[in-house]
Structure 1
Amino acid sequence: MADIVNLRHARKQKARLEKERDASQNRALHGRSKAEKERDRLAADNSERFVAGHRREPFGDKDSQSIGPKSAQRFSDESDG
């Protein structure tokens, strides 16, 4: 004789297994300790500071960001006054 299976219980068990599988994947992808997050943040800050220190023009200077004919000052006959 075959075993009688309650489909409601089987369906719930399957959902629990899928939920646990998804949770384990998320733990592997996103589960980092506070120290690891802090280490990565410090490394990113140090690299950004290094790059910013080696720029030719200051980062916030609007006039020196673009060089070319479009950034040149326009003069008109009326302004010569």
Structure 2
Amino acid sequence: MGDIINLNRARKARDKAAAKESAAANRVAHGLTKAQRDTAKAERERASRLLDQTKLED
């Protein structure tokens, strides 16, 4: 026979795990200094320009 589980506890544990995951992502996204954000933005723009330069036109 299977183990008896409390569905309310299981739901709360699942929600808590999802909240921790979301918080970790937010810490990464919003925990940067302005200089780090500017550097990351410049790198994304540079990569985008390089990609656009290599496109072949029909």
| Band of TM-score, shorter chain | 0.5 to 0.7
TM-score computed with the length of structure 2 as normaliser: 0.55
Large movers: runs of 4+ above 6 Å: none
1:29 corresponding residue in structure 2: 29
Give the TM-score normalised by the residue count of structure 1: 0.40
Structure 2 counterparts to residues 1-81 of structure 1, below 5 A: 1-32=1-32, 36-37=33-34, 40=35
Residue identity matched to 2:4: I
Aligned equivalents of 1:15 and 1:2: distance in 2?
23
**How far apart in 1 are the matches of 2:12 and 2:30?**
26
- Rg (Cα) greater in structure: 1
Q: In 2, distance between residues paired with 1:17 and 1:31?
A: 20
Q: How many residues align?
A: 36
Which has the higher relative contact order, 1 or 2, with Cα contacts under 8 A spaced 6 or more apart? 1
Partner deviation per Cα, 1:22-65 (whole Å, 9 max, x = no partner): 00110111112xxx33xx3xx8xxxxxxxxxxxxxxxxxxxxxx
More helix by share: 2
Percent identity between the two aligned chains: 39
CA distance in 2, matches of 1:3, 1:27: 37
3-state DSSP of counterpart to 1:3:
coil
